[in-house]
Amino acid sequence: MQSNTNTIDDDVKVPSKAAAQVYHWASNVLDKLKRGITPPHLHVLELLDGHKVTQCLCVAMRLGVADQLNDGPKACADMARALDVNPDALYRVMRLLASKQVFKELPDRRFELTPAAAMLRTGVKGSLRAWAGLTEQTWGTWEYLIDSLRTGQPMFEKVFGMPIFDYYAKHPEKSELFDQAMAELSRPIAKAIVMSYAFSGIDRLVDVGGGDGSLLSVILRAHPRMKATLLEGPWAAERARRSIDAAGLGERCEVVAGDFFASVPAGGDAYLLKNVLHDWNDERALALLASCHRAMKQGARLLIVELIIPPGNEPFIGKIVDIQMLLATGGRERTKEEYEALLDQAGFRIRRAVPTAFPMSVIEAVRT
């Protein structure tokens, strides 16, 4: 029997597409069942309480609670002494998180890690610690959601005094957390992409806005004959170069600092945009696509890795990320039809959209 997970590269496990489909189907069925039997007022109250759980998760991350349990179960009072916090208050936060399967409460106010709690640990594969930190860092933008609804504009500048990418360029310590959070998300997604899309016939891949190179490193290791170019802004390019070198891929990958709205390196067999177009509204996305179009030779492929919002009322993570993009950058998640229209206007035609084991899809397009 085929395993329902596959391991590629550094022991990050990725479910097969079949297993992922079963999970999403079962999750939707259970969600509909729960909504069908939950009184409406309780359903709304649960939704309103969501931000409180988020804050408890972020506080647990900041304190390093999960790290306290690395060696096994521990009494809450002992953790409180080590963390210099009130033991009763810590217990109450951990009790709430345990009710959400983050930590498990044992007798005598002792706790142990669960698979979810393990993702809050420091320096372990699969950790989401930096992502929790980024969630906490940008939380203030959500207070101004009503202003985004009235204006259609992002709120990051209102909270932090400048647009998001200008802010990270001027605050390296904040941009490092941003890059770490993006890398945490990219590692399992990168493996799902390599498992789902063949990358055949690509001798040189150009990764446009490739962050710290996490995705590109996985692709290059899976395709030993491929060479690559990674384009990033000056504030991120040096970090990407260090990451690529540390992965032992420096001889196969050139890192270029530049502005992808102005120009993109020419000569690639394929151009990769992962979680880049969703940063921008349609006007700026078209400018970026035009830059790629100018650089691409005849027959080159454009590979767009994004969340594609499905029709209907089913839960989908992209619907949450869409509001985050509205608040942070003024960008958006898009439906398949919206991508078709956007790419058609930019001079591209979609050949196919390849789903992965995660909600991300690889949209393959060519110049028209």
Give the contacts of 51 (CB within 8 A, at least 6 positions apart): none
Kindly give the residue spans of alpha helices, DSSP state H, lying in 171-299: 172-196, 214-222, 234-246, 282-295
User: Are 270 and 298 in contact, with CB atoms under 8 Å apart?
Assistant: no
CA 317 – CA 309 distance, rounded (Å): 9
Amino acid at 198: A
118, with CB counted inside 10 A (0-12, 13-18, 19+), is middle
User: What is the C-alpha R_g of the chain?
Assistant: 22
User: 223 an active-site residue?
Assistant: no
Q: Which helix (H) or strand (E) holds 260?
A: none
SS3 310: coil
Given 24, 223, 278, 293, the catalytic residue: 278
SS3 86: coil
Q: How far is CA 306 from CA 196, 228, 340, in A?
A: 14, 20, 13
Backbone φ and ψ of 266, nearest 5°: -85, 170
CA 81 – CA 125 distance, rounded (Å): 28
CA 25 – CA 222 distance, rounded (Å): 30
DSSP string, 169-197: HH-HHHHHHHHHHHHHHHHHHHHHHHHH-
Amino acid at 363: I
Enzyme catalytic residues: 278
